[in-house]
Amino acid sequence: MADRAGWQDAVESELRAAGRELTVPPASDLTAAVRQRLEGSTVQRRQVPALGTGALRRQLGWRAALIVVAALLTVLIATPQGRAAVIGVLRFAGVELRQEPGPARSPGSNASLPGERRMPLERARLQVSFPILIPAALGQPDGVVVSDRGRVVSLIYRRAPYGLVRLDEFAGRFNTVYFQKFLSLRMMTEVEVNGTKGAWIKGPHELVYVTRDGTLATASARLTVGNTLIWGTSQVALRLEGKLSKPAALAIASSAH
Amino acid sequence: MGRAIDDAEAVARARDGDLDAYAVLVARYTLRAHRAAFLLGAGEEAGDVVQEAFVKAFRHLSQFRAGAPFGPWLLRIVANETRNLTRSRRRREALALRLGTAELEGTAAGSPADEVLAAERRAQLVAAVSALPDRERQVVVCRYFLDLSEAETAQVLAWPLGSVKSRKARALNRLRGLLAPVEQNRVTNG
């Protein structure tokens, strides 16, 4: 028995010694790659379960999801692997488009972004870290609302013949998601605004604000009004919402400076 | 990153969606995870396996038991990803367990016969480990090449502790058999 333990110890220590001498190719730093992949999906991880009302479920009967990150869009679609990877969300300028039913909306129409504060435009400019763009086609806004400690600014317009028009602006950082939209991707067409890609969404859809830590602000969940245009500049991402035709929306967008 | 945070704090913050905190864990465990993936059979694809494992680990952080060590929990995901990879491979690639060649040559160049013999025996041992049946090789890799305890090995490979013990015993027996000629040589030479 002692002999048996003896050979076992010998083999074990030989194995440990061999282990120390094994060649393992160098590992590369993965922090950036892992982070990039997670930034595309932190909101997904915290996805609120789809609402259960039968009618809406039928109406929003698309289960397949579609994921694309805006800047990668062309590359992704250009490669077969890319095409295979397009399965969950489309992302444009801080807005994520998801083809699936959205979370339950708060009853009534009092949905709001976190910490909304109404203030004059000049004060709002001091509260946010990005330049606030004003579309010349709409002129000075009738109301300015800063939300979530300066993370989003909303310009409110009442303009005939459109009625209520809302322009949300937020820092145009590539990997941050500010809003999620739940819709059928058939509602979406790609457009060009001042030489960059944008998304035109025809018809109402569910809109939810995504907070800094990637959670959905369910109190903000609401159905949008009219049509929506999403686009961005190098510094600012913009979401224009209202009963606007596509040419009118594009004209407003290209006049924003 | 101002001050160093420990694993428990990094996990807690990462679970709340803090990607900076998670980056700390990724940086801290990349080498270990990479070594594990490579030695468990991922070979050249170890980098991909580890990246996938880190992404999955983040998504499953809610299942991580607070206070438990992060290393073995992560390595279990690494081992599982490696298994998925090797299973999906069409041909089973020769497991590339190799000893550091520089070291071996250095030893052979101008060193006492004993050391040359030791190096040869070690090379033979590694070849023998490579040739073990899958499960026995995995337990040897975990216990001796990754320095995991039996309990950690059970966790990483998702086996009952008893299987770790029995497969390890079987592996050692087999290696003893394979090493026997060398042992005998040494005895006759000495």
CB–CB contact B144 A15 (8 Å): yes
Q: How does residue A110 score in pLDDT terms, banded at 50, 70 and 90? A: confident
- The pLDDT tens digits of the residues spanning A19-76 come to 888 888 888 888 888 988 888 655 443 333 333 333 333 323 222 222 222 323 333 3
- Cβ neighbourhood burial of A61 (10 Å; 0-12, 13-18, 19+): exposed
B101 touches A: beta carbon within 8 Å: yes
The residue type of B58 is F
* CATH classification for the domain delimited by B7-88, as one of 1.10.1740.10, 3.10.20.30, 3.30.930.10, 3.30.230.10: 1.10.1740.10
**Counting every residue, how long is chain B?**
190
A64 touches B: beta carbon within 8 Å: no
Over residues B8-18, mean pLDDT: 91
Of B30, B52, B20, nearest to A39 (Cα)?
Answer: B20
Asked whether residue B12 carries a pLDDT value surpassing 80, the answer given is: yes
CATH architecture of B101-189: Orthogonal Bundle (1.10)
Indicate the domain borders of chain B. 7-88, 101-189
CB–CB contact A38 B19 (8 Å): yes
Chain B hits for A216, CB-CB cut-off 8 Å, are none
* Interface probe, candidates A38, A39, A43, A210, chain B, greatest B C-beta count within 10 A: A38
Quote the CA–CA distance of B173 and B182 in Å, as a whole number.
15
At B29 the pLDDT is 92
b/e B136-148 (16+ beta carbons within 10 angstroms → b): bbbbbbbbbbbeb
- The pLDDT tens digits of the residues spanning B52-68 come to 999 999 999 988 988 89
Measure A144 CA to nearest chain B CA, in Å: 31
